[in-house]
Copies of this chain bind each other. A is one copy, B any other.
Amino acid sequence: MLKVVSSEDALNMVKTQFDFLKAEKENVSISNCLGRILFEDIFSVENIPAFNRSTVDGYALRASNTFGSSESSPAQLRVIGEVLMGEKTEIELYEDECVKISTGGMLPSGADSVVMVENTDCSFLEYCLVQKAVSPFENVTKKGDDIKEKDIVLKKGKIITSREIGILAALGINRISVAKKIKVGIISTGDEIVPIDSEKQFGQIRDINTHILSSLVKELGCDSTEYGIIKDDYDSILTALKTAVNENDIVLISGGSSAGIRDMTADIISSLGEVYFHGIAIKPGKPTILGKAQNTVVFGLPGHPMAAYFVTLKFVKPLIDSILCKESTERLFNGQLTQNISSNHGREEIVCVKISGDKVQPYFGKSGVISLLSKSDGYIIIDRNLEGLRQGDEVQVFLF
């Protein structure tokens, strides 16, 4: 019954079977889009700046008129006017003339640079003494230098941070299309599983998965709905799964660590649609099921929280990112392993690690230890074709 596939094949199946899933658009205000995924390319309809702009308080002039000038031999320019910030100037500037200008002010026609007020002596009425040479476009941001009209400024798939919001505001864009959040349903199963705030009897296990998976999918940009703890019973699981499938784009049903229960979960998913694989050659995470019911993706996750967490990171996150058309945000670190790790040939292995300087310290043989989730900086993956890694090996860490 167990159809075990390699990690690579599992990922490919996730991608190809659900290639048809694409997020919908949602129009939101930029005050309300932090962390969302941009779902359209943003074009500029204007030049920023719209004119040659001074970056300092000073005097706009022709750079060539200042060449060779110094404190002892200043250039003497005639002050023919002033440009205030926010003002459209009609002044035309000629040889040996200058115009007082504030930071952000528009350079008058004929001027190509600005000398800072600190480098002038303007204690005279009509004249200004320039005590330092400036080069063309010194202290000036040229028209379109920042953003050019018709440029694609932000690409679809970009995660919107305060920096993107700054750019959107600069372009005068107040509303944008973002990817509608994906709905993920979370089901915990198991006769032994109890709510975390209930009095736990000996041997019972707290329902960690509902909490860790629900918060993980929120971190991945999804809405999460929890369906509670369901007993290891065909009809109960079937009923819960049907409801969750109806209400979500993706369902994560965890638990069923024993082979019999796993098979039952697979049967239930089958009865609602199709099962693509039942087992991944990865540790932790082997008893993972991928299925489809209606157009909803169903992941049967291992009952162990660490396994459920990593399977979600490794196999569910790429699907979510692909549905959202989200840019890659994998954060990687390369360093040297501090000790040997052995591994079973034929299956991929995930090992939590701690980074210190350029050293990577593995927490080996402790895949079940949940406190590692907070102690570790990330994890490494040992290839299925390897029988382990050696101390000093260069490894790539996937940072949390």
Tell me the A residues contacting B by CB distance below 8 Å. Answer: 30-31, 34, 48, 50-51, 55, 57, 85-88, 102-104, 106, 141, 145-147, 153-154, 158, 161-170, 172-174, 190-192, 196-197, 200-208, 210-216, 218-219, 257-259, 303-305, 309, 331, 366, 368-371, 373-374, 400
Contact = CB atoms under 8 A, between A and B. Distances in A.
A271 to B, nearest CB: 25
A365 to B, nearest CB: 10
| A-B complex: 6 closest residue pairs judged by Cβ atoms | A86-B192, A166-B212, A163-B373, A162-B215, A162-B216, A169-B211
Nearest to A305: B166
A147 B371 contact: yes
A90 to B, nearest CB: 11
B258 A154 contact: no
Contacts of A106: 203
A55 B368 contact: yes
B85 A370 contact: no
B85 A167 contact: no
A84 to B, nearest CB: 8
A145 B205 CA distance: 16
B103 A258 contact: yes
Given A257-B103, A258-B103, A86 B214 contact: no
Given A85-B190, A165-B215, 7 more contacts: A50-B202, A162-B309, A165-B211, A166-B305, A170-B206, A174-B196, A331-B331
